[in-house]
Structure 1
Amino acid sequence: MKISIASDHAGFDQKQQLAAYLREQGHEVFDRGPENDDRVDYPDYAELVAHDVVDGVAERGVLVCGTGIGMAIAANKVDGIRAANIVSPAFAALCREHNDANVITLSGRFVDLSANKEILKTFLSTDFGGGRHAGRVEKIMALESK
């Protein structure tokens, strides 16, 4: 799978390790930065990953900041993105099954690396459930045109 990943300074260390983990799993990874842990503004990186996903460069996006919350808010401003801030594998499965989330945001400060690896593994291996959820996702996406 093609995956775009980025972080801010607070998520930099985990972003580096998660990108390596994804490559070890055989994924093609586009690292959109930053290149070090100098202070940066997370919306800039959320936008890069979100556009990779909506433009078809990547199938899924991964964003890491201190909590994951700011990244989710920023990414969701890009039409076509369904980003979810996830803190457990169960939530990762549900955001895919029920919401067809295409971007996951993770906490680099409050969730340890091993837990984030499990969350990411679940996010990438879970399919959208369709069915009754498809109509709900269509309604979510229609909000962008209102």
Structure 2
Amino acid sequence: MKIGIGSDHNGFEMKEAVKHFIQESTEHELVDYGCHSCASTDYPDVAFEVSEEISKGNLDRGILVCGTGIGVAIAANKYPGIRAATAHDVYSAERAQLSNNAQIITMGAQIIGEEVAKKVVEAYLNVEWADGSKRKVDKIIEKEQEFVGRSFEKMATSNNLDS
């Protein structure tokens, strides 16, 4: 499996610990989308990049870390087709994949410690979606497509008004 990982400055140290854990204990291919230091980094930039690569089919899954895990989840979920779930325990990580086919899990470095984060990531990567809650996931996809269509219509209308 090809996995993208990224963080803002608040999640940098946890991202690095999780990255090393994956590299040392699995055979998954890992791509680091930053940040690459503790320098201030805006979490939406990293979340959008990982989300886009998943959307293009260049990654199978993603792991994003910020201070709470909430900001990167909100940002990633703005990207059409992406389902990102915050997981701070093993059960939530498993259910994110088994029930919701979440392509991305997010974690908060100020919420959980590195050892728990490793267990969360391990649980997430060790399960595969088997159409669990497919009917519900399909409803989410349908609603998203409805709103994406509306957004494009609204943009076209706005652009026509501006000319």
TM-score, normalising length: structure 1: 0.96
In 1, Cα distance between equivalents of 2:19 and 2:52: 18
Structure-2 residue corresponding to 1:141: 141
Give 1 or 2: higher helix fraction: 2
Deviation, 1:104, is 0.4
Matches within 5 A, 1:16-55: 16-24=16-24, 25-55=26-56
Q: Which residue of 2 aligns with 1:119?
A: 120
1:21 Cα deviation from its structure 2 partner: 1.1
1:63 aligns with 2:76: no
What is the one-letter code of the residue matched to 1:8? D
d(CA) in 1 for partners of 2:21 and 2:60? 17
Which residue is 1:130 aligned to? 131
CA-based RMSD = 0.9
Equivalent residue, structure 2, for 1:3 = 3
Q: Which residue of 2 aligns with 1:86?
A: 87
Q: Residue deviations 1:24-75, cap 9 Å, x none? A: 1121111001111111110000001111111111100000000000000000
d(CA) in 1 for partners of 2:47 and 2:41? 12
Distance 2:95 2:130 in 1: 9
Aligned length: 145
Q: How does 1:94-113 map to 2 (within 5 A)?
A: 94-113=95-114
Task: Tell whether 2:70 aligns with 1:73.
Answer: no
- Per the normalisation by structure 2, the TM-score is 0.86
Amino acid in structure 2 at the alignment position of 1:82: R
Q: Which runs of 5+ in 1 are unaligned?
A: none
Identity of aligned pairs, percent? 38
Match of 2:9, SS state, is coil
Deviates more, 1:58-67 or 1:16-25: 16-25
Q: C-alpha distance in 2, partners of 1:125/1:81? A: 20
Segment drifting more, 62-71 vs 18-27 = 18-27
How far, CA to CA, are the matches of 2:20 and 2:56 in structure 1? 24
CA distance in 1, matches of 2:51, 2:57: 10
1:108 Cα shift?
1.0
Aligned structure 1 segments of 4 or more residues deviating by more than 2 angstroms: none
CA distance in 2, matches of 1:143, 1:92: 24
